[in-house]
Structure 1
Amino acid sequence: MPAQGPRFDVHVDSNGYAWWYIDAVSADRRFGLTIIAFIGSVFSPYYKLSGRGRPDNHCAINVALCGPRGGAWAMTERGARHVRRDADHFQVGPSALSWDGDTLVIEIDERSAPLPYRVRGTVRVTPELIGTTAFALDPAARHRWHPVAPRARVEVAMTHPDLGWSGSGYWDSNFGDEPLEAGFDDWHWSRAHLRNDVAVLYEGRRRGGDPFELALKFDRQGRWHDVAPPPRVRLPHTGWRVARATRADSGATPLVTRTWIDAPFYARSGLSTRLFGESVDAVHESLSLARFRSPIVQSMLPYRMPRALW
């Protein structure tokens, strides 16, 4: 399916969702960052309890920083009256993403939870290539993935916490017409910048147990082609006992260099691995939607994902 740019003005139907995801690693590999901007926040307990009738009334910008001096986390949900968006702009409360055709500028002004410290700064994402194709993740195309910029330069200038760095990054988006947990039981995803290409590996189980997998390479012009996925390798479970798995060249032993986020149903990690004949650093995530559906996990979510009342 053809796709171009961020498309912040995409229509999201009832029960649906859209998100834009950015990750980055500093040039010295000491710092990591992820930012996810949500419409119809897929993990929101408030969106679920509302009946998912108004996705635009459940928006959030999630920021997660990790580094040698500790990390920062923020994800406050806000209602429709605090949201403004068009094709190139998406504002949620005091934070916003703006695309000028060359660079995505993200102005962050959030507070963490449950400890209320400030998370504030500016992140600039400049694509080195633009992906022009969206991919269906299920036969009915209810869930779609668009790699907007598989390779990008990222500049981070934070005031809270006080830090700045630059490095390499990745930017994609996902869109869906039903809740994420209605379509999938789990998935494992990773991306790695190779010498000339970007490798993206997606695999998991759809709801009901049917497996799926997607293995792609993107070249410097943004052209993509399917590749045979390397052998599957199990990774150590997280502290919350979330199962992790990845793909690596035969005989290689991937190493989890750091777990950026360790949540009851989700983990994002840095890997040192070998793919397609190259030693690479990869960003990896594992998601257990079976775990997410648990009433115990649902009861935990408001403590980390508050909803603004103002």
Structure 2
Amino acid sequence: MTERGAGAVRRDAQTLSIGPSAAEWNGTSLTLHLAERGAPLPYRVRGVVRIHPLALGDRGFILDSAGRHRWRPIAPRARIEVALDSPTLRWSGTGYLDTNDGDAPLESDFVDWDWCRAAAGDATAILYNARRRDGTQQSLALRADRHGRLEDIAVPPPARLPRTLWRLERPTRADAGTTPRVTETLLDAPFYARSVVATGLLGQKVVAVHESLDLDRFAALPIQLMLPFRAPRSFR
């Protein structure tokens, strides 16, 4: 997706437009209208994604000691429909929607973090572990019921997944006595990885989506020089 300046952003109570792409909320579902160009190969990305929350989360969280970074699982569980014209692609399934926002660059306040989300019967498990620049750590372990209510649960013991091809660490947490394993790596970048993981959470065997982010790597000059080739920037 293309990074754009403030002049390309328009927002009202129902719609957020960023350049030619937009997100629209109608009270029950979120529709994403995509009109982008891929990178580094300039292929077209055109189509619609619809997210139908099965429940809306009822809590938000502060991630850092100074209160500069916030996270909210908006829809811990959702139904998603993807209809792309370019490339031609159609699928539907279960989804998830959250938001991060902050008043400072992530690399200023965090060393790294890992995140994990899995459907477990009628509930959803969400894990969020962060190492902060001030030397403290935060571990969130949440259970969302089918109504979206979020409750804190005991933080599972740490577990470690194999490193990526870029040698990026993939720490996580899982129920005691279970050994998580990566079944698919969806994205493998020098500072970020997204994976499908077979693991144990909420006392069940589940398939989870896992995310690992290394902000020391992200802030390194070679990575910063590479980013415009993967995320083009436009100020129109």
User: One fold, TM greater than 0.5?
Assistant: yes
What is the CA–CA distance in structure 1 between the aligned matches of 2:150 and 2:8, rounded to whole Å? 38
Task: Work out which of the residue numbers 181, 185, 201 in structure 2 matches 1:255.
Answer: 181
| Equivalent in the alignment of 1:147 | 73
What is the CA–CA distance in structure 2 between the aligned matches of 1:232 and 1:93, rounded to whole Å? 41
**Greater Cα offset, 95-104 or 227-236:** 227-236
CA deviations on 1:126-183 (whole Å, 9 max, x unpaired) are 0000112111112332111111110000011111111101100000111211111111
What is the CA–CA distance in structure 2 between the aligned matches of 1:292 and 1:209, rounded to whole Å? 19
Q: Give the partner amino acid of 1:167.
A: G
What is the CA–CA distance in structure 1 between the aligned matches of 2:139 and 2:86, rounded to whole Å? 39
Task: Work out which of the residue numbers 49, 57, 70 in structure 2 matches 1:123.
Answer: 49
Aligned residue for 1:128, secondary structure, equals strand
CA deviations on 1:102-147 (whole Å, 9 max, x unpaired) are 0000011110011100111110000000112111112332111111
Correspondence 1:60-71 to 2 at 5 A: none
**Greater Cα offset, 77-86 or 234-243:** 77-86
**In the alignment, does 2:235 pair up with 1:304?**
no
What is the CA–CA distance in structure 2 between the aligned matches of 1:81 and 1:293, rounded to whole Å? 26
Task: Work out which of the residue numbers 80, 85, 104 in structure 1 matches 2:30.
Answer: 104
Task: Work out which of the residue numbers 178, 181, 190 in structure 1 matches 2:116.
Answer: 190
Q: Give the partner amino acid of 2:177.
A: G
Identity %: 56
| Equivalent in the alignment of 2:190 | 264
RMSD: 1.2
Q: Give the partner amino acid of 2:11.
A: R
| Equivalent in the alignment of 1:84 | 10
- In 1, are the aligned partners of 2:7 and 2:235 still within 8 Å (CA)? no
CA deviations on 1:11-52 (whole Å, 9 max, x unpaired) are xxxxxxxxxxxxxxxxxxxxxxxxxxxxxxxxxxxxxxxxxx
Aligned residue for 1:292, secondary structure, equals helix
| Equivalent in the alignment of 2:161 | 235
Q: Give the partner amino acid of 2:167.
A: R
| Equivalent in the alignment of 2:99 | 173
CA deviations on 1:43-67 (whole Å, 9 max, x unpaired) are xxxxxxxxxxxxxxxxxxxxxxxxx
What is the CA–CA distance in structure 2 between the aligned matches of 1:257 and 1:275, rounded to whole Å? 16
Shift of the alpha carbon at 1:233? 0.7
Aligned residue for 1:199, secondary structure, equals strand
Q: Give the partner amino acid of 1:204.
A: A
| Equivalent in the alignment of 2:151 | 225
Aligned residue for 1:237, secondary structure, equals coil
Task: Work out which of the residue numbers 123, 126, 133 in structure 2 matches 1:207.
Answer: 133
What is the CA–CA distance in structure 2 between the aligned matches of 1:142 and 1:80, rounded to whole Å? 21
What is the CA–CA distance in structure 2 between the aligned matches of 1:252 and 1:259, rounded to whole Å? 20
| Equivalent in the alignment of 1:160 | 86
- In 2, are the aligned partners of 1:188 and 1:203 still within 8 Å (CA)? yes
Aligned residue for 1:87, secondary structure, equals coil
Aligned residue for 1:250, secondary structure, equals coil
**In the alignment, does 2:217 pair up with 1:291?**
yes
- In 2, are the aligned partners of 1:185 and 1:209 still within 8 Å (CA)? no
Number of aligned residue pairs: 236
Q: Give the partner amino acid of 1:211.
A: Q
What is the CA–CA distance in structure 1 between the aligned matches of 2:52 and 2:170, rounded to whole Å? 30
Q: Give the partner amino acid of 2:89.
A: L
What is the CA–CA distance in structure 2 between the aligned matches of 1:178 and 1:97, rounded to whole Å? 24
Shift of the alpha carbon at 1:309? 5.5
User: Where in structure 1 are there 5+ consecutive unaligned residues?
Assistant: 1-74
What is the CA–CA distance in structure 1 between the aligned matches of 2:94 and 2:216, rounded to whole Å? 32
Using structure 2 for the length normalisation, give the TM-score: 0.96
- Label 1:212 to 1:309 Cα distance change in 2 as closer, same or farther (>3 A): closer
